[in-house]
Amino acid sequence: MMTYLTMRHYRVTKQAATSSIATLFEMEHKVRTTYGISDESYGGKDWMPKPDGIGQGNGYAPALWAGISSLMLKVMSDKGYGTKLRSPISKVFLHMTGYSFVDDTDFIETALPNKTWTSLFVRAQKGLQLWETLLRTTGGAIEPTKSHWVRISHKWKNGKSSLEKANRNKHLEVRDPNGHTTYLQQIEAT
């Protein structure tokens, strides 16, 4: 459904959107290996429940994820998450929430002026929960074993900057694909 709604949002005709999804759902699938094509199959018109997503290796997948993730990032931006930058020369304003490539997404959260690390951490946790909820709504999930977070914080000494070490007492939590709460790995800033 999310695939269909995303295609319709980007003005793909109803017929084209329906056709691209129905074709996948109604195909009879077989497994091909170096030993040949399986005799057994799955799928077809009676396939219930219908599968989530559009199939592994589908050439349309990157474009669909770009569409879906763009809408998710817009929700995040509309809720005020991300970083706000102004170019010092042109004065052009940029509000960037994150970026996606294929099936990977980086979510960015920066400290607001005159706010503490603790308030940034709380805000990042709330943003991560919103992202995870949006992703789950599309039928996806965060895979904690493939995800991590990094604190980038500078400390100054004698006019020189260095990166602070990771704070191992702080943990960002997410739900795994099974709905269980777990910690994301924190990595060192380099």
Question: Residue 80 to residues 54, 67, 97, 172, 184: CA-CA distances in angstroms?
Answer: 31, 20, 9, 19, 23
What pLDDT is attached to residue 76? Answer: 95
Name the DSSP class of 120: H
Q: Is residue 64 part of a domain?
A: no
For residue 2, tell me if it sits in a domain. yes
Instruction: Print the domain residue range for 2.
Output: 1-58
Please report whether residue 70 resides in a domain: no
The kind and range of the H/E element at 184 are none
Same domain, 116 and 174: yes
51 and 118 co-located in one domain: no
Same domain, 132 and 158: yes
Residue 66 placed within a domain? no
pLDDT at 60: 81
Q: How many domains, the chain?
A: 2
Question: What pLDDT does residue 97 have?
Answer: 93
Residue 63 belongs to some domain of the structure: no
Write the DSSP assignment of 54-87 as a string of letters: S-TT-TTHHHHHHHHHHHHHHHHHHTT-SEEEE-
Specify whether 90 is located in the same domain as 53: no
Nearest residue to 106 via CA among 138, 142, 80, 160: 142
pLDDT of the residue at 30: 87
pLDDT for 48 equals 79
In degrees, rounded to 5, the angle at the alpha carbon of residue 75 between the alpha carbons of residues 121 and 61 is 105
- Which pLDDT belongs to residue 102? 73
pLDDT tens per residue, the chain (190 residues)? Answer: 788 888 999 999 999 988 888 887 788 888 999 999 999 888 887 777 777 667 777 788 888 888 889 999 999 999 999 998 999 999 999 999 998 887 788 999 988 778 888 899 999 999 999 999 999 988 888 999 999 999 998 888 999 999 999 988 889 999 999 999 999 999 999 8
C-alpha to C-alpha distance for 107 and 140, rounded to whole angstroms: 16
Are 37 and 88 members of one domain?
no
Q: Are 171 and 81 in a shared domain? A: yes
| Same domain, yes or no: 99 and 157 | yes
pLDDT of residue 92: 95
CA–CA gap between residue 75 and residue 137 (Å, rounded): 13
Write the DSSP symbol of residue 44. Answer: S
